[in-house]
Amino acid sequence: MNTHDPSRREFVQHASTLLAGAALAGLPARAAPAPATPGGRMALGDLRVARMGFGAMRITGAGIWGEPADAASARALLRRALELGVDFIDTADSYGPAVSERLIAEALHPYPAGLVIATKGGLVRPGPDQWAQDARPERLRAACEASLKRLKLERIDLYQLHSPDANVPYADSVGELARLQQAGKIRHIGVSNVDVAQLAQARAIVEVVSVQNRYNVATRQSDPVLEACEQHGIAFIPWGPLAQRQRAAEQPDPRVAALRAIAGERGITESQATLAWLLARSQAMLPIPGTSRIVHLEENVAAAAIRLSDAEMTRVG
């Protein structure tokens, strides 16, 4: 195990020792850096955030539908994320639907300076675990207005088109976000679930500051999009960053196996190794691991302090 890359438990113990020493010395309790910050910071347009965010999809009910089993615990989880230095929270109107955004406002409003809340529009929910596209301009405008009210904001820092709609010209959907931006309702625009051509089309209409696509150790179809983001200074937000686990009957992925072996050697969790791999994979990467449990939140955020070596990155491939 590399002693310079502490596990979550070691990190928390170290931080507690520093804070206790500061208290005994009569110093402000600020000696320990926030766990989210060792991964560095990155730009979202004119905003800067830590490179370890939080995805607020799973604070809703089962199937990303309805209320969580324990709303008080969901609000406590959100507050703990901020205590850990997380300053980028990603949500969507379709999470619940509406539940995730409402809980964020209940837990965190009035928002502290520097907190960036990103939300999305363009998907609707027929039922639990069901998603349908609806990126008509009128639907996007209504969704944005509703998100502003639920989040108790006058302007959304980052509004993302959740998905291209096969029934709507992509330029019409992106163009509506541009009009919402001109109206002062959106600060920055992002796109999601796009290919290189769609990203280029969106960039021809409006400045795009982020792309959110599915990406993890075993799912890398968006490598060309990631490369485009690196080239143009666009943040790449991988959704499903921890979803590389496979069924027992599936053919083992050697990349996942290599990462699992590295986690064992390091004495860290597979999730932490995965997040560390994402951070090392590209400086454009902004992971947003989601969870409904504080212990997993703390474990994920602690991964920002873990550095994989060049040799370990080569092993994973």
Report the alpha-carbon distance of residue 92 to residue 215 in Å, rounded: 18
Total residues belonging to the chain: 317
Q: Which of 239, 288, 292, 238 is nearest to 62 (CA)?
A: 292
Beta strands in the chain (DSSP E): 41-44, 47-50, 54-55, 88-90, 116-121, 123-124, 132-133, 156-161, 186-192, 208-214, 235-239
**95, 159, 170, 215: which one is catalytic?**
95
Report the alpha-carbon distance of residue 110 to residue 152 in Å, rounded: 8
Is 95 part of the annotated catalytic residue set? yes
**CB contact at 8 A, 130 and 177:** no
Cα dihedral sign for 273, 274, 275, 276?
A: positive
CA 92 to chain centre: 11
Which uninterrupted H or E stretch holds 101?
helix 99-108
The residues carrying an active-site annotation are 95
